[in-house]
Structure 1
């Protein structure tokens, strides 16, 4: 599959489905103050090879219409970010079950925040539905998955991130295109260098567009002459997402899909997790996948949109996991570990790194092999 809007670096923001995004600080190589809050490895570091690469890149940028003044402004307080390379190298290849994915993508908190966000921006979302034909709740759900309704847009300077990755060379050609696109966005006046921030891989704004997708789909919905997907007002970003989905084949008046009842059939049925819910999906499901080429993501967007609209949870239960535990069992395990002083990072039924570390610590305290694997027996010892 060709690289689309941002599946080039999924790592399940891995989807802002992670609990936190990094945010940035101190002094750049030039001595100018840097944004505060980012870890040290996401602050500019002196790297002579990178500096030489930037010098050679300038000529290529000039040949593509980027002006000297744009280059000077864009690179003034930027630099090599070793943390970006580290994150690019360490993207974990893993598969979440659909149950785990939906536990995060359509958590009670994400649903509650989504309903509140929808209420606040109902007028804009409904006007976008009228203009583009894309369901208002779908637009809101994508916003929720991509940046937690604007809370986690990312604070890493896009010029630093994309130039670091272009210099590194593993995907150098792709990231040099993103860097050129980012410079053209700056040159167009849509955003200033200091405000052009995003994820470590260059995805930007409320709905996480990469620079080339921004060029193709971003919309100036507010009419102020700038396509500002970073603003506190999410209108431009939400309109850009609607435009993306429309151009990706969204059909007005057609739902993404629905959960099937037991024994019910449909022309296109998906059951991503054996023994779990089955879904009838439509062509609009494919349009969502153009945003992120993952069945779980598209189901997550669809289900979250339904919940934002007031629907209840899925009716079909998921089967026990490979350890024989149901979601309720996993939540009970996390809750009991927390009560005993072990940090699981929360009780959501998803046994991520923190929960497994807590299980290993508890096993160690019992003189057991600290495998980090859960079990019914372990759950009972905590009762």
Structure 2
């Protein structure tokens, strides 16, 4: 058995993972009316053969107006459910890698163009745009964005119920994990941060009030999936803006989530405010993961410019985090876990069709059972 920390198994509630490498949810902006298509089969199928422990489907909107772009995935109706089911059925014919999904609502950052066409917000008066919603009627930026409508009590119930319904669909699809998206400036993060939440009711003001709706959503999701199915959350540890959401508030949020049965926390940062100043560099978010890990018992996942094999091994081996999540790194190198195993003396599962790619000097690399 490998001595590399990165290739040790870990259990999250009822889910057994063979190593500590997670494929992060990455939006593809290629859905049609919220539905998966052949692109998602190619994209997810490729990553499902990578040897990582867990593949996470990209942010999937719980209501149409919760999409970031008009080409985002969704899980708000039976058509979205059926299309996702077909893709998953094809992938599962060839790999048993666990697959999770991230459920999301973009809030005021919704109704945008796809990134390679500029990514700007589309006015609700145009064909591909719609009216956005948020905790308060505060636009994301004073330039080129449009004011959202503040969610009233009925709107809050509608969103909360939509998360619950989508969670129910994830269980019916046989997915292995569901992640609630409360990061990167999207709706639940908008409730958490005092920069975007200026409400005067029980959902705004104090930290307890700002956490209330995200916690209600988490509870709704947890209640709709089987007891053995893990529910995780993704958070931004800081807004990187003075007066905004910060690490101390994140720690209190994490503690409350843990009390409610959260099974893992994926620690990212930023995305809420255009004034953010992020000191981007290798592993720049790992210190946040380390601090959260020191305060909670649930597994902590680090993410953000984790590219090197020794770097990833050090993060897990020193206890900065329990797992690492890869995004752009694994898009650039879909066999990153193979190469990490070769470098660190670990083993990865591989499809029988690929066994002949094994160089003789790596004869112990593939765990072909």
Do Structure 1 and Structure 2 share a fold, with TM-score over 0.5?
no
What is the TM-score when the length of structure 2 is the normalising length? 0.27
Q: Name the TM-score, length of structure 1 as normaliser.
A: 0.26
Q: Which has the higher strand share?
A: 2
Pick the structure with more helix per residue. Answer: 1
Higher alpha-carbon Rg: 1
